[in-house]
Chains A and B, each alone.
Chain A
Amino acid sequence: DTEVTQTPKHLVMGMTNKKSLKCEQHMGHRAMYWYKQKAKKPPELMFVYSYEKLSINESVPSRFSPECPNSSLLNLHLHALQPEDSALYLCASSAGTRPISDEQFFGPGTRLTVL
């Protein structure tokens, strides 16, 4: 199984809502990532978890809160978002032996719209 799954596929939320994005992989990977991608732009790294510990936080606003319950799951909790946070949110995973240089496998993304 070489797949990274993400739920939901689409999410519309108001600025006062609390929601969560979920990501799962069963490849035995030990590094997992959250990226944000705006239209016609490359993915921007938000967070990296390595062996279930947060290893990189790219100065992301606190309204985004990541969680790694176990080595297969990655969540992104959302609260009080702004309309400019609307984007495609991508999860990725890699083997974890070299978190940045390993081959990263991306999920299909969650299309988030903040009203």
Chain B
Amino acid sequence: QQQVKQSPQSLIVQKGGISIINCAYENTAFDYFPWYQQFPGKGPALLIAIRPDVSEKKEGRFTISFNKSAKQFSLHIMDSQPGDSATYFCAAPGGKLIFGQGTELSVKP
């Protein structure tokens, strides 16, 4: 069973700080790496995604860094805000969309 391993499981950050969530994958054939944000009681929403031909993608305060040789990708949230408090899932396509186990982010005011 192909996996995407996500860490940490939970994260507490002060307002204005940087939140960093990491994912590691096994299959080098994966060609699309999305991050989803999910608020309680809502469906996941695509936050940002990257394809392996680039090493970094930035959208506003959210940045994906991709390390192909290490088979790792990470999400950085700059200037974290209380409204960013949510569960974040990384994912990769391997026959089906394989999700990491999720990171519950809490940004304290």
The interface of chain A, by Cβ under 8 A from chain B, is 4, 6, 40-43, 45, 48, 56, 58, 88, 90, 92, 100-101, 103-109, 111
Q: How many residues of B contact A (CB 8 A)?
A: 23
Total A-B Cβ pairs within 8 A: 50
**Top 6 closest A-B pairs, CB basis?**
A42-B99, A106-B43, A101-B93, A100-B93, A101-B32, A109-B43
**A104 with B46: CB separation less than 8 A:** yes
Query: Across the two chains, which residue of chain A brings its CB closest to B46?
Result: A103
CB distance from B44 to the nearest CB of A (A): 5
CB distance from A22 to the nearest CB of B (A): 15
Whole-angstrom CA separation of A114 from B1 in the bound complex: 30
B66 within 8 A of A: no
Q: Which residues of A contact B89 (CB under 8 A)?
A: 42-43
**A42 with B101: CB separation less than 8 A:** yes
Q: Which residues of B contact A41 (CB under 8 A)?
A: 101-102
